[in-house]
Amino acid sequence: MSLVLFFPGLTPTRYDAIGDFVTTHRHAARRFAEADEVLGYSLVEAYRNASIYDWEVYQSGYMALTLALADWAEEHYGERPELCGGQSYGAVMAAVRAGALSYPDALRLMVRSVRVEQDYFSSQPEPIGCHFFYKLSYDTVRKLIEEFRAQGSWMELSVAFDASVHAVSAHQDTLVRFEQRVREEGGMPFYTVDRAEHCSALAGLRDRLADEVYTTATWHDTSIPMISDVDGRCLTSGEEIKQDLLNGWTTPVHWRTVMDGISRAGGDRVWIPGPRNMFARISNRAFPTRVISPKTALAA
Q: Tens digits of per-residue pLDDT, 172-228?
A: 999 999 999 999 999 999 889 999 999 999 999 999 999 999 999 999 999 999 999
Query: Does 114 lie in the same domain as 52?
Result: yes
Same domain, 89 and 226: yes
Per-residue model confidence (pLDDT) at position 277: 61
Q: How many CA atoms lie within 13 A of 201 on its CB side?
A: 18
Question: Total structural domains in the chain?
Answer: 2
Cβ within 8 Å of residue 211, ≥6 positions away: none
Range of the domain at 173: 128-193
Residues 94 and 185 in one domain: no
Answer with the one of 138, 160, 193 that is the final residue of a domain.
193
Residues 6+ apart with CB under 8 A from 279: 8, 272, 291
CATH number at residue 283: 3.40.366.10
pLDDT at 233 > cutoff 70? yes
Give yes or no: residues 87 and 143 share one domain: no
In this structure, the answer to whether residues 293 and 178 fall within a common structural domain is no
Residue 156 sits in the same domain as residue 263: no
Higher per-residue confidence, 52 vs 192: 192
Instruction: Verify that 66 and 154 share a domain, yes or no.
Output: no
Residues 107 and 244 in one domain: yes
Residue 245 dihedral angles phi and psi, to the nearest 5°: -60, -40
Does 87 lie in the same domain as 225?
A: yes
Q: Does the pLDDT of residue 281 top 80, yes or no?
A: no
User: Which CATH number do you get for residue 173?
Assistant: 3.30.70.250
pLDDT per residue as tens digits for the range 55-72: 999 999 999 999 999 999
- CA–CA gap between residue 243 and residue 112 (Å, rounded): 17
pLDDT tens digits, 72-81 = 999 999 999 9
Nearest partner of 192 among 206, 171, 211, judged by Cα: 171
Residue-wise pLDDT tens digits, 117-147: 999 999 999 999 999 999 999 999 999 999 9
Last residue in a domain, options 151, 173, 193 = 193
CA distance 252 to 141: 14
Same domain flag for 69 and 142 = no
68 shares a domain with 22: yes
Q: Report the 3 state secondary structure along the chain.
A: CEEEEEECCCCCCCHHHCHHHHHHCHHHHHHHHHHHHHHCCCHHHHHHCCCCCCHHHHHHHHHHHHHHHHHHHHHHHCCCCCEEEECCCHHHHHHHHHCCCCHHHHHHHHHHHHHHHHHHHHCCCCCEEEEEEECCCHHHHHHHHHHHHHCCCCEEEEEECCCCEEEEEEEHHHHHHHHHHHHHCCCEEEEEECCCCCCHHHHHHHHHHHHHCHHHCCCCCCCCCEECCCCCCEECCHHHHHHHHHHCCCCCEEHHHHHHHHHHHCEEEEEEECCCHHHHHHCCCCCCEEEECHHHHHHC
Report pTM: 0.94
Same domain, 13 and 100: yes
Of 165, 193, 221, the last residue of a domain is: 193
